[in-house]
Amino acid sequence: MPKQNRLMPLLPAAASLLLILGVMTVFSACGPKADGSWMHCHDCQNAVAASAGGILVCFSAAAFVKNRPLRIALQAIATAGSLVVFFIPGGICPMCMLRTMRCYTVFQPFVRIMTVLIAAGGIGALVGSWRQRERIPA
């Protein structure tokens, strides 16, 4: 695969890395309670970080796989995974009861924006891989 075609799947991979770093630092969910235990949204944060790690691995692997059907499959799995991650905070995984808490005001919007960007980059990578013709060895 030419070097310029490797860049396209690396863009959503980079966005996935930003998602992981963001939800674990600046855009994290609520902190621990006074007694040291964690709220429900902390589980959502961990689920988003782990899922984004899987998406990162798939897009990164797709950038270096020469087998076109495998590359398309990896990109499709990662793109679908990013759409699932969109629904983790507040949908798949319950969060805090008050809508004014950090998990709803900071964490959830960041996850939703980043997953839309990842999915858009994944669709772009899929289209690029789909249009690329396989080279037949001479």
Domain ranges in the chain are 9-24+39-128
Of 138 and 66, the one with more pLDDT:
66
Look at residue 137 and tell me whether its pLDDT is greater than 70: no
For 106-120, write each residue's pLDDT tens digit: 999 999 999 999 999
For 25-56, write each residue's pLDDT tens digit: 999 998 888 898 888 889 999 999 999 999 99
Q: How far apart are CA 27 and CA 24, in angstroms?
A: 7
What pTM does this model have?
Answer: 0.88
Look at residue 2 and tell me whether its pLDDT is greater than 70: no
Angle at 14 between CA 58 and CA 129, to 5 degrees: 50
**Mean local confidence (pLDDT), 85-100:** 90
**Mean local confidence (pLDDT), 9-14:** 92
For 60-83, write each residue's pLDDT tens digit: 999 988 898 999 999 999 999 999
Residue 114: closest CA among 31, 47, 21: 21
Q: Which of 2-16, 32-46, 85-99 has the lowest mean pLDDT?
A: 2-16
- Look at residue 106 and give its three-state secondary structure: helix
pLDDT at site 33: 85
Residue written as token pair 């398309």? 72
Of 99 and 51, the one with more pLDDT:
51
Q: How far apart are CA 107 and CA 61, in angstroms?
A: 28
Look at residue 136 and tell me whether its pLDDT is greater than 60: no
**Mean local confidence (pLDDT), 82-101:** 91
